[in-house]
Structure 1
């Protein structure tokens, strides 16, 4: 019997979300089918108030449609604090109908349907200093009768909070309520505490720390307010339908507890001797505690949690304990991670253990704190002296691989590694992508990219996780977003970030450098463009039209802001610009690359205008689409007139100038081909090294691969010497560095200033690894990978294979290729309800097998034309393995017009070159020959290199085969 099933139901990207404030939630699902080429032809959705689906809130009826993502709920108006169950069945293009799916659910939050019953509370200032750095304990007791059906807590804080009920911790979320634009939006969380309540007296406890709201750092940026406060309401629903409430009010009590100090950047101090045993139980005696007071708080700004919470997602053990030349005892976690250490100890009361965290050791082998700047990254634990004790800080996080340990009992005889565990913290996004290839160093690069993303996605996409910065820099976010969405499901994370950007956007349309905004700067090219690039990328990756609609006014305001800045409406040549930040062609003592800042700004102006125009088309805003199309034409014309010479070369000779012109489609035709060739020459002449910075690097390999120079891009990728992506790996990096030489070749550091060893921006190369190396891409005409583009590139010198997988909104997509003995094998997996355009280089239909049979008999696909690019195939859902041979793909192809430098790139070619033309390896020719062609060598008879000798070289070179 054939199988057609509906699986993986989600509501607003999430499985069974608890407490969402979406009036018209969107439902998505995936289809599993045992037949190739399956497309959905219809769906039916039922939503009910009960699991038996007897109390229907919506029955869509049978809807003829292929849509299986973001179907908007269109039933009865949703009620607050209510659970809705839903199920789905589908029909397909083969006339089959599935059974009903297993049911899933969502539960609404407060929906802003009624005012909060609770009040914001804080310790009365006369008793407890609100400026103290110790965390507050807030508590109350309340009775519960028999017959509880359900119980929910809705809670938030000005600061960070952790909840306990009857001695048990509530939930596993960390660093709640998260970091938002507190002046406009503060999240609340919803917790199911039904199982924690008991008949009789019960207790609730809140631990309240500074967090991002009040916690300070060297320059005091984070002072949204000077008083912490908590807000909580507990709803208890009984089986007879009655309801009871417990809320924060003036009857609560307050005290300090064991957390004597807590700061996001500096760390935490915990004195276990001050633990108040049983303080969150109902019958705890709090008569000596201090009163609280209610204060006016931003209740009208409360929103339900929008993204996945921060959680402990992994635990790793230290790989070694070392004693440094300075005599420090240091744990090596084996991985630059972000989170905290959980320690276990048996120690006398008052024993003081101090953990200080760092990313690297210096070249002498000592732990290095210099790049932390003012951030202390220090955790102190004072033992209670009551047997085995365990502790992990709650209101801070550190970026580290190494931990200096002081005061641990017996550490002089060696630290017991099993007493220390690294707890990895980050926003708990679902892992969706994977990439691997035949080069182990490139595989380590991918691993580093993923760890960099994990470490910098702590509720906000930040630049770094260790020094006194850790801010949501917009440029870092926008250059990395495409890579991020391959590795993890980032829909909710970036939705939250974009809403904060819109909230913090300036009245004139300018965009702050960091989001949430805690800086004084705003509106630079490549930074503010996050307002446009990120919503468009989310639309492309997930088909999220709603976010595009929400952000459209913000996107438009940003482009209109730029339009008002320049000396004319087509240029952006005024104001402060970061330019190609941290590019290696910068002048000495400057961070700004050599590419003219107005060129960078105008290129980004064109790019954002293009994406805004595209967004207007998607949203049906035809007048805007026409207006911004005209604007785009003017910007491109200005760019060409200002930055491209009449002979078709870039006026600026930098790699980044060429990259932006190509990738942002600012040039076309022969001029585009000339600029692409010039970019290739710039890379080759620089011995396959880059000089690009923040704005050029993300697109560099795309500019090469997309214009006929994929081999150069791969050679650039695999460059192990400085500067390049693999150089840090040769120095032991396990994350992405801020600088190409954060650790220099002699082992010294770039500087103490601005030298993060976990800075994900240059990890944006991951996008190219998935799309170009593995060949897994989308057809831009249908978002969310409804139409897939598979274009592997076997025959790439230096690569014998690559593969990538992506769990898309429709299901898993896979593209993989490998070569051996001239045989090419390409494997693909296409999810149901999608199609793929497959391009196989060097394949011929009559000489290829598909799943072991001739292509003519293959189910689920059709063979198209063979072109110079390869064989074009249209494939429906299913798994396919293509096998074929083409020896020409694995041969080098040099001519008399080839530059000598091209023959120096690979050892096999270099050996043949020197054997046939030994003069090229001897002075004086050796010093300049690489920029000459073979034809130029022949023409200059003084060199003694004849056409016959070159012909012999070419004959042997072009017999070289590689795998």
Structure 2
């Protein structure tokens, strides 16, 4: 988080990227200094913290160890590093961070809401500034969605704020998930620096509230999710130039009134009556005499936390590629891309009170009308209604909903609509794009683009949802199976930190059970879903070196793994989960699911037990490490005893990924692995005709296994095949995002088959993190053995800097290029068929040539630099 306005910790972590020319550049020491004024960073006596010169090559998550940091205070920091020759580098630019409101007693405002006002209420309050301000930060917490206004203008560029969370205890489908009343659950607030906007004089605050997931009553398939009327808490902290301070807070002096939003629901849409707009309602001199007094409402039981996950924002626009007139004043616009967001409606010369109805869908029927099947059916049609003012030109965008769609039908135009009457507005969490992949096969490139659109469409409110329309829930199985791909493509550190907190909040502290959605809003899955509580923190630690996430959630992760052991009869094979929790096994296998769920359940029992042993090792918990390593070995042994059929050389039913789960665990007996592998390869080529037969968990494991076996061409053929089932089949049928099911009968925008994106980075471009590496300290560059691609390349901006690798071949001649950041390294590995004398250049200068590298385990280890390698393949 660069220069954050509010962070919620007394011990922030500092990270930096290094820049230096030349080869094999690295850090050997650093010094971090922190002060409450940037001018003090040059002082030796006025620092809040001086790490001193620390002999270390670590450049990430350096934990603050200085004087106590105070709430609502801004601090400044700088770092200087020493290079590989112990030469001191230039100091970094000065950066800042602002501590939020850490403690309950830091808040003095009151939670306020509206009396029985239908729709989305408006609130206003006034205050005066009597002298020049040095700093002014406003903190805004909300249950539901909220927008904050100052003197008539919206504050900030966030939408759908704040992040949603698990709001309260809730009984759904007869299952109760209690938690300790110790502030564990979370309520998020946002903070804005408004110093530049506060002049001496009178000012007006305004707030507009929406229901969000706090007061959601339209969709009850997973359970009822209504906790009361939306409410908010506001506190403005002003520090004046003369050193004095003042707080402006939400209290009983605020007033409220009904606004133009008559209805809003995240699963359905919004009804907006522009005739009810109130001009100047949030300005300081507005006449509020006929507005109602607010209600003082109870505060939530959860802990107030600063929102640190990237906020939802408007991330772009799409112009429709076609417009079709259906009759009866209906027009269907095709945005050309399935995405999440809404439509910006522009109407001209419309009589006041005219109703414009916008309905959204992912697909069309043969007659050109909207097909609602994949996005919730006719019982859950996404739609917005705009009632015009009667002006010559009117623009409308909803505020507290988003939709998942490609097509929008608009009814109500008095004549032929203008070309710009409907513009698609792309909305999702504002994560940075950090990775890219490209290869010579356009179908694979399209699959990569489809994954990215699907993943972004399902990042909202700090939650990775399953789909952006029908369910919109943080299904944990969907979330963890795509986490590696998301990390390769997007900056996910703070996003996943928030979501892991959601999972922890949802855990049953009495039993250790982790439900299948987080924040918990119902739904089911099985052990492959709740295991996200171990898998995601581990992936975040591997990618970003964030040890604190493992430390904070270690006891919860232990409780989950111990819970799984309690779901067995022998301590190993998971036979059951919670009553009514569905226990799906490997979800969305082509056709009917025949693979026994206990195979998949036990795989995850073993996998998270193994990971917990790794986590215990990272945290220095030696006894736990030994215990979980031994338990993992026992589960693998039991997996073989229960599921291995030695006569047929297969596991369980021998289909639908059964053997792949065993291979991924590493429990296949070495003497049987060739026979099992050959039988499986023959099955895919002959019995299945080159089609996948796996679900969301098995598919990623299958593609990884094929690459490990040197069968990359087989995997590519499985991916690009345009017959059912396969990714190419989706493309053949018009997909621009990934589908929930191979047959496309459900959602057409589900990222859960997106694990293939990580496979492209790692096994097609050949760029992946070393198994023993943390925070991308060392990457493996290993070109694949393939005849189906002429080139592939990938780039990943990591916490250390940017790695890139790309290879291309011309006949038997291969060339590889790689960029390694300062303080990073790569290992070039050439498959057996490609091991021939090689020439390696750095910045155009020959480093070495010949076959000497073969004496070093066929590995070439290189530090930072810009490299090129040339060689010829074996015949």
Q: The TM-score by the shorter chain falls in which range?
A: over 0.9
Is contact 1:251-1:291 (8 Å) kept?
A: yes
Structure 2 match to 1:898: none
Structure 2 match to 1:717: 719
Is contact 1:269-1:380 (8 Å) kept?
A: yes
* Residue number among 107, 116, 122 corresponding to 1:137 in the alignment: 122
Structure 1 match to 2:304: 302
Is contact 2:28-2:55 (8 Å) kept?
A: yes
Structure 1 match to 2:351: 348
**Could you report, residue by residue, the CA deviation over 1:680-700 in whole angstroms, capped at 9, with x for unpaired residues?**
122112121011112211211
Structure 1 match to 2:672: 671
Structure 2 match to 1:578: 584
Is contact 2:35-2:49 (8 Å) kept?
A: yes
* Residue number among 246, 249, 255 corresponding to 2:251 in the alignment: 249
- 1:16 and 2:21 matched: no
The alignment partner of 1:726 has SS state of helix
Superposition deviation, residue 352 in structure 1: 1.7
Structure 2 match to 1:634: 634
Q: Identify the structure with bigger relative contact order (alpha carbons < 8 Å, sequence gap 6+).
A: 2
Is contact 2:568-2:574 (8 Å) kept?
A: yes
Q: From the superposition, tell whether residues 295 and 852 of structure 1 become closer, same or farther in structure 2 (CA, over 3 Å).
A: closer
Structure 1 match to 2:598: 598
Q: Superposition pairs for residues 442-461 of structure 1, below 5 Å?
A: 442-459=444-461, 460-461=463-464
Superposition deviation, residue 409 in structure 1: 3.9
Q: From the superposition, tell whether residues 764 and 856 of structure 1 become closer, same or farther in structure 2 (CA, over 3 Å).
A: closer
Structure 1 match to 2:95: 104
Structure 1 match to 2:181: none
Structure 2 match to 1:79: 70
Structure 1 match to 2:29: 42
In the aligned structure 1, how far is the partner of 2:226 from the partner of 2:263?
19
Is contact 1:168-1:196 (8 Å) kept?
A: no
The two structures have a TM-score, normalised by structure 1, of 0.85
Superposition deviation, residue 549 in structure 1: 1.0
Structure 2 match to 1:383: 388
In the aligned structure 2, how far is the partner of 1:852 from the partner of 1:245?
58
Superposition deviation, residue 342 in structure 1: 1.3
Structure 1 match to 2:17: 30
Structure 1 match to 2:735: 733
In the aligned structure 1, how far is the partner of 2:495 from the partner of 2:706?
31
Structure 1 match to 2:467: 464
Is contact 1:233-1:246 (8 Å) kept?
A: yes
- 1:508 and 2:511 matched: yes
Structure 1 match to 2:609: 609
Superposition deviation, residue 521 in structure 1: 4.7
Q: From the superposition, tell whether residues 332 and 610 of structure 1 become closer, same or farther in structure 2 (CA, over 3 Å).
A: same
Superposition deviation, residue 419 in structure 1: 3.4
* Residue number among 763, 766, 783 corresponding to 1:772 in the alignment: 763
Is contact 2:843-2:867 (8 Å) kept?
A: no
In the aligned structure 1, how far is the partner of 2:838 from the partner of 2:232?
70
Structure 1 match to 2:171: none
Q: From the superposition, tell whether residues 645 and 108 of structure 1 become closer, same or farther in structure 2 (CA, over 3 Å).
A: same
In the aligned structure 2, how far is the partner of 1:285 from the partner of 1:721?
66
Structure 1 match to 2:180: none
Q: From the superposition, tell whether residues 813 and 544 of structure 1 become closer, same or farther in structure 2 (CA, over 3 Å).
A: same
Q: Superposition pairs for residues 692-703 of structure 1, below 5 Å?
A: 692-703=694-705
The two structures have a TM-score, normalised by structure 2, of 0.93
Structure 1 match to 2:866: 879
Is contact 2:158-2:312 (8 Å) kept?
A: yes
- 1:828 and 2:818 matched: yes
**Could you report, residue by residue, the CA deviation over 1:365-397 in whole angstroms, capped at 9, with x for unpaired residues?**
322123323333111111212332222100000
* Residue number among 821, 827, 840 corresponding to 1:837 in the alignment: 827
In the aligned structure 2, how far is the partner of 1:583 from the partner of 1:732?
21
Is contact 1:816-1:826 (8 Å) kept?
A: yes
Aligned residues: 842
Structure 1 match to 2:50: 59
Superposition deviation, residue 773 in structure 1: 0.8
In the aligned structure 2, how far is the partner of 1:429 from the partner of 1:31?
22
Q: Superposition pairs for residues 405-804 of structure 1, below 5 Å?
A: 405-411=410-416, 415-459=417-461, 460-467=463-470, 469-506=471-508, 507-519=510-522, 521=524, 524-575=526-577, 577-586=583-592, 593-647=593-647, 648-685=649-686, 686-742=688-744, 750=745, 755-793=746-784, 795-804=785-794
Structure 1 match to 2:178: none
Structure 2 segments unaligned to the other structure (5+ residues): 169-184
In the aligned structure 1, how far is the partner of 2:748 from the partner of 2:778?
38
Superposition deviation, residue 114 in structure 1: 2.5
* Residue number among 250, 255, 263 corresponding to 2:265 in the alignment: 263
- 1:369 and 2:357 matched: no
Q: Superposition pairs for residues 130-169 of structure 1, below 5 Å?
A: 132=118, 134-169=119-154
Structure 1 segments unaligned to the other structure (5+ residues): 1-13, 587-592, 743-749, 889-963
Q: From the superposition, tell whether residues 855 and 532 of structure 1 become closer, same or farther in structure 2 (CA, over 3 Å).
A: same
Is contact 1:212-1:222 (8 Å) kept?
A: no
Q: From the superposition, tell whether residues 325 and 602 of structure 1 become closer, same or farther in structure 2 (CA, over 3 Å).
A: farther
In the aligned structure 2, how far is the partner of 1:562 from the partner of 1:672?
28
In the aligned structure 2, how far is the partner of 1:738 from the partner of 1:489?
24
In the aligned structure 2, how far is the partner of 1:679 from the partner of 1:855?
44
Runs of 4+ in 1 over 6 A off after TM superposition: none
In the aligned structure 1, how far is the partner of 2:813 from the partner of 2:485?
31
Structure 2 match to 1:70: 61
Superposition deviation, residue 854 in structure 1: 8.2
The alignment partner of 2:340 has SS state of strand
RMSD: 2.0
Q: From the superposition, tell whether residues 257 and 854 of structure 1 become closer, same or farther in structure 2 (CA, over 3 Å).
A: closer
In the aligned structure 2, how far is the partner of 1:390 from the partner of 1:652?
58
Is contact 1:501-1:516 (8 Å) kept?
A: yes
Superposition deviation, residue 349 in structure 1: 1.8
Is contact 2:590-2:743 (8 Å) kept?
A: no
Q: Which moved more, 1:48-57 or 1:205-214?
A: 48-57
**Could you report, residue by residue, the CA deviation over 1:442-489 in whole angstroms, capped at 9, with x for unpaired residues?**
10110000000110011211110112x111111101111111111101
Superposition deviation, residue 312 in structure 1: 0.8
Superposition deviation, residue 174 in structure 1: 1.0
Structure 1 match to 2:174: none
In the aligned structure 2, how far is the partner of 1:267 from the partner of 1:304?
28
Superposition deviation, residue 849 in structure 1: 4.7
Q: From the superposition, tell whether residues 874 and 375 of structure 1 become closer, same or farther in structure 2 (CA, over 3 Å).
A: same
Q: From the superposition, tell whether residues 186 and 853 of structure 1 become closer, same or farther in structure 2 (CA, over 3 Å).
A: closer
